[in-house]
Amino acid sequence: MWFLRCLILSLALATACWTGANETAAQTPVKVVVSFSILADMVSNVGGDAVQVTALVGPNGDAHVYQPSPADARAIAAANLIVLNGWGFEGWMPRLIDATGFTGVRVVATDGLSPLPRVTRRTQAPTPDPHAWQDVQNAMVYVRNIARGLSEADPERRDDYRVRADAYLAKLRDLDAWVVAQLSAIPEAKRKVVTAHDAFEYFGRRYGVTFDAPIGLSTDSEAAAKDMARLIQQIRAENIRAVFIENMSDPRLLRQLASESGAAIGGKLYSDALSDPAGPAASYIELMQHNVRELVVALAKR
Ligand code: ZN
């Protein structure tokens, strides 16, 4: 009898322990810290309810020139997974991660892609252009890298991440085809655009649009007078009707460029950050849709 009572008690305790452990696993989200808002949206799409995502640089923020805070270091130290773009986009982040002693899983979203090299005034040597997400096919590589990182950080939910990633990748495949169709309807000679900084080279290569900008790959430089003069001349010579401001860059330079060249402000493009949740580019897919609609409206006018 004593033995039986003990056995029942042990079984009850074991069951309680097992149930408790399982509930904890199901309720504890994987803590993910990403450098900027576009990556946060991608992680949320793959991770769903299983992840808690923190973007160090939020909507409309400029990750090129961000100054990390002590709260950012604490978030990284507490994270299970870190996702960054790489290629010098958030040059402050690798140092920040090292300073926190972070030991979790680290994903560089551009892993496996080949960068477009650009010569900048500052370096005079080719540096990788970090804005790879502006080509949807590259964004699909980001998503696969994120799914792999989540599965490594949280292997129990590996299958969920795969299913969610596949569903999101299918939407991105449709998005890519839509962008191709929208822009191919515009005659090639008209597909010329001026923006604030060089953030759209990948978009241009994939979708057949020529972009130019008064400042280079990063927003931490100022426009040189000769670059402004060259662009003004080019806008007039090539009959470029519209220049676009960006959500995360100072619009004054572009307004000056527009007034001196006679071009119109074509609209606002979302380059390096999402809009706030109520805005027109609250997700990566909406960002691409918004940019393409703005471009098509402005370019079709010419
Ligand atoms: Zn940029």
Numbers of helices and strands, H then E, in the chain: 10, 10
For residue 136, the Cα-to-chain-centroid distance in whole angstroms is 11
> Which of residues 27 and 249 earns the better pLDDT score?
249
CATH fold of the domain at 187-300: Rossmann fold (3.40.50)
What pLDDT sits at residue 20? 44
pLDDT over 70 percentage in the chain: 89
Whether the CB-CB separation of 76 and 82 falls below 8 Å is answered with yes
Cα of 1 from ligand 1 centre, angstroms? 74
Q: Report the pLDDT averaged over residues 271-295.
A: 97
- The pTM for the full model equals 0.88
> What does the block give as tokens for 73?
């270091």
Cα of 302 from ligand 1 centre, angstroms? 27
Name the pLDDT band for 280 (thresholds 50, 70, 90). very high
Equal fold, 29-178 vs 187-300: yes
Whether the CB-CB separation of 268 and 294 falls below 8 Å is answered with yes
* Distance between CA atoms of residues 182 and 217, nearest Å: 26
Residue ranges with CB less than 5 Å from ion ligand 1: 199, 272
Cα of 180 from ligand 1 centre, angstroms? 23
Name the pLDDT band for 120 (thresholds 50, 70, 90). low
Per-residue b or e along 94-111, where b marks 16 or more CB atoms closer than 10 Å to that residue's CB: eebbeebebebbbbbbbe
3-state secondary structure of 99: helix
Using only C-alpha atoms, the chain has a radius of gyration, in whole angstroms, of 23
* Helix axis angle, 93-100 to 70-77, nearest 10°: 60
Q: Report the pLDDT averaged over residues 24-31.
A: 76
pLDDT in tens, 80-91: 999 999 999 999
The pLDDT mean for the chain works out to 89
Nearest to 141 by CA among 174, 107, 110: 110
Cα of 163 from ligand 1 centre, angstroms? 31
- So where are the chain's domains? 29-178, 187-300
Phi then psi for residue 96, to 5 deg, are -65, -45
Phi then psi for residue 119, to 5 deg, are -90, 125
Q: Which alpha helices (DSSP H) does 35-157 contain, by range?
A: 37-47, 70-77, 93-100, 136-153
* Distance between CA atoms of residues 210 and 201, nearest Å: 8
pLDDT in tens, 165-207: 999 999 999 999 999 999 999 998 889 999 988 899 999 999 9
Pick the CATH number of 29-178 from 3.30.565.10, 1.10.357.10, 3.40.50.2300, 3.40.50.1980: 3.40.50.1980
Cα of 215 from ligand 1 centre, angstroms? 10
DSSP assignments along 209-255, one per residue: -EEE-SB-SSTTS---HHHHHHHHHHHHHTT--EEEEETTS-THHHH
Label the pairing between strands 126-128 and 192-194: unpaired
Cα of 298 from ligand 1 centre, angstroms? 22
